[in-house]
Amino acid sequence: MNSRRTIILVTVVLVATFAVFIVWPRAAMTRQDQSPQKQQPPTIDEYQPKSTLVTKEHKIERAKFPFIDIHSHHWNPTPGEVDRLVKEMDTINLRVMVNLSGGTGEQLKNTVAAMKGRYPDRFVVFANMSYDDLNTPGFGKRVTARLEQDVKNGAQGLKIFKNFGMDLKYANGERVHVDDPEFDAIFEKCAELKLPVLIHVAEPSPFFDPWDYHNERWEELKEFPGRARPPAKYPPFETLMAERNHLFAKHPRTNFIAAHLGFHGNDLERLGKLFDANPNVYVDIAAVLAELGRQPYSAHDFLVKYQDRVLMGKDIYDVNEYKWYFRALETRDEYFEYYRKRHAFWRIYGFQVPDEVLKKVYYKNALKLVPGIDAKAFPD
Ligand SMILES: [Zn+2]
């Protein structure tokens, strides 16, 4: 009798404990879920609203026309990597890939051999400058001679990386300006050889602004603090733009492709003025698609107006990320997520351009600028 009473008592206590510690808090939590004003606000990373928008979606896995990627990077690729690349390129209609990271001298030779040596119609390699002897008098002449040799070894253009104008300094600590006369000879040589110069000057302007709660790239700067360009260490964005524009103006026979919409993707009118003032200037859309995708009407009209000046490019290679470019350029899809959250807090919109414009962006402008690509692989 006594033991039976104990069992009942223990059972009652257990049930009560279960109710108090397990069931009741859950019920309370559910109630809390229903009244947002009682929740802790989510952090910026936690808040991931799911769109409820129901609208037409077009998943485009393959470009409508064969295209040239004017902006890609493959450092010292091995034959195996190149084989894999070609297989992947075929799946998305990527006909010609421009590797901007060819280097100079032996490295350039090896890169040309690994890529063009095996697939002559599928790859283009751009040379880069070496600054190793920057502080030895006569640098301008030597760097120009090296480029001439690189062209003999198969280079089809010159790529200038972003350290030029920002981190590159003379031994006395003076920054190399983008329009430094020491480099005039190499730009004139590019005009003579009809070689395009793809040049990355500065960075997105928010990287030069204070890292505060009004900064559009707050999250990217949190993830990569080294991308900040504080005034204590770097020239202002506008100084770099002025030097760059002076460079474009003083070499009118040289064709320049300003990487990443020249960092004017957030001000297309300004980019239009740059085009109007300099017929030798072009841009690529690599890694700045979100800028166009957040202003579909302006982007569409801009691409129609300046259809001879804009080139397709992707930058960091990933065969699975090109489809955002196809969808933005080829459809009118609305409010879809971008592939790189840190670049864009916003969703993007397709700005579908006419086929004639699409062909220019995909390949015709690149065919015009880059010597030695076989046009027969592309439609008229
Ligand atoms: Zn790049």
Write the DSSP assignment of 29-57 as a string of letters.
HHHHHH-GGGSPPPPTTT--PPP------
Q: How many degrees, rounded to 5, is the angle at CA 268 between CA 262 and CA 270?
A: 75
CA distance 149 to 104: 9
Give the per-residue pLDDT at 14: 57
Asked whether 160 and 135 are in contact (CB, 8 A), the reply is: no
By CB neighbour count within 10 A (0-12 exposed, 13-18 middle, 19+ buried), where does 25 fall?
exposed
199 token code pair: 């040049």
Distance (angstroms) between ligand 1 centre and the Cα of 24 equals 56
Distance (angstroms) between ligand 1 centre and the Cα of 277 equals 25
CA distance 130 to 142: 10
Name the DSSP class of 40: P
Residue with tokens 């350039």: 108
CA distance 325 to 351: 10
Backbone phi and psi for residue 223, each to the nearest 5 degrees, phi listed first: -70, -40
DSSP 174-203: PBPPTT-GGGHHHHHHHHHHT--EEE--S-
Distance (angstroms) between ligand 1 centre and the Cα of 231 equals 24
Distance (angstroms) between ligand 1 centre and the Cα of 318 equals 13
60: three-class secondary structure by DSSP: coil
Per-residue pLDDT of the chain in tens (380 residues, 90 and over written 9)? 456 666 666 665 555 555 555 555 454 444 445 566 778 999 888 888 899 999 999 999 999 999 999 999 999 999 999 999 999 999 999 999 999 999 999 999 999 999 999 999 999 999 999 999 999 999 999 999 999 999 999 999 999 999 999 999 999 999 999 999 999 999 999 999 999 999 999 999 999 999 999 999 999 999 999 999 999 999 999 999 999 999 999 999 999 999 999 999 999 999 999 999 999 999 999 999 999 999 999 999 999 999 999 999 999 999 999 999 999 999 999 999 999 888 778 999 999 999 999 999 999 999 999 999 999 999 99
Asked whether 302 and 356 are in contact (CB, 8 A), the reply is: no
Give the per-residue pLDDT at 38: 78
170: three-class secondary structure by DSSP: coil
Distance (angstroms) between ligand 1 centre and the Cα of 234 equals 20
Residues linked to residue 281 through DSSP beta bridges, in sequence order: 256
Distance (angstroms) between ligand 1 centre and the Cα of 316 equals 7
Distance (angstroms) between ligand 1 centre and the Cα of 269 equals 24
Give the per-residue pLDDT at 30: 47
Give the per-residue pLDDT at 6: 64
What are the Cα distances from residue 264, in Å, to 250, 342, 360? 21, 18, 20
> Which residues make Cβ contacts (< 8 Å) with residue 104, sequence separation at least 6?
127, 128, 129, 130, 146, 147, 150
Distance (angstroms) between ligand 1 centre and the Cα of 64 equals 24
Distance (angstroms) between ligand 1 centre and the Cα of 100 equals 8
Distance (angstroms) between ligand 1 centre and the Cα of 102 equals 12
77: three-class secondary structure by DSSP: coil
Distance (angstroms) between ligand 1 centre and the Cα of 163 equals 12
Distance (angstroms) between ligand 1 centre and the Cα of 283 equals 13
Pick from 60, 97, 58, 89: which is nearest to 312 by CA?
A: 97
Give the per-residue pLDDT at 341: 81
Distance (angstroms) between ligand 1 centre and the Cα of 28 equals 52
The CA-to-CA distance between both ends of the chain, in Å, stands at 99
Backbone phi and psi for residue 261, each to the nearest 5 degrees, phi listed first: 55, 25
Distance (angstroms) between ligand 1 centre and the Cα of 233 equals 22
CA distance 93 to 115: 18
Give the per-residue pLDDT at 377: 95
Residue with tokens 């751009």: 126
DSSP strand E in 31-160: where?
A: 67-72, 94-99, 123-125, 158-160
Give the per-residue pLDDT at 323: 98
What percent of the chain is helix, strand and coil (3-state, nearest 5)?
45, 10, 45
